Amino acid sequence: MEALDDAELVEAVLASRPGAVDALLARYGRDVERVLVRVVGPGPDHADRCHDVWVRALDGLSTLRERDRLRSWLVGIAVRYGRETLRRRAWRRRFTAWVPGLDASRDDPAASAELRRTYALLDALPVDERVAFCLRQIEELTLPEIAEVTGASLATVKRRVARAAERVERRAANDPLLSHLVRDR
């Protein structure tokens, strides 16, 4: 299965060939997981989120027209799922004191505190800006790739990334734990 290109792998999964789904997960599982954790943040339900994305992907695989664009399509599903998760989280916060748990390192309290502060900073961004910022600055997707996976125009993506970067830099500069991230820029 490893020798198959993306289009052939999609066909193999759709034909229910043995090992095809495992090959798909092996090829793109880390990409999906990484995008989800960057967009939504770590948490105790991370494995469930990944599972949900893969269920959506496998259920919708037959609708994929450009089969050579499999990675972008999968990242798009993860982004949309992450956006939904962030919107649900924001809605709950309006009415409760719910605070998501972070799976930060217990071995390094400073890194743990920095991670929590970073995700708190990202949580303060509007959802679409957070998604665009994370995909550009953390996942290093190109602006056209971000436009493709989010379904937004290139101009909209550029505005979202720029606004988010400005907000992140301003807030990080005023945070003693995060100011080193924007110093000397």
Domain boundaries, the chain: 1-103, 104-185
Q: What pLDDT is stored for residue 94 in this prediction?
A: 42
**Nearest Cα to Cα of residue 147 among 132, 164, 168:** 132
Q: Name the CATH topology of 1-103.
A: Rna Polymerase Sigma Factor; Chain: A (1.10.1740)
Assess whether the region 1-103 and the region 104-185 belong to the same CATH fold: no
CATH of 104-185, one of 1.10.10.10, 3.50.50.60, 3.40.718.10, 3.30.460.10: 1.10.10.10
41-63 tens-digit pLDDT: 998 889 999 999 999 999 999 99
CB atoms within 10 A of CB 101: 11
Structural tokens at position 161: 């990334």
- Is residue 101 over pLDDT 50? no
- Is residue 167 over pLDDT 80? yes
pTM of the model: 0.63
Cα end-to-end distance, the chain, whole Å: 46
Q: What pLDDT is stored for residue 148 in this prediction?
A: 94
Read off the pLDDT band of 139 (50, 70, 90). confident
Look over the chain and give the mean of its residue pLDDT values, rounded to a whole number.
86
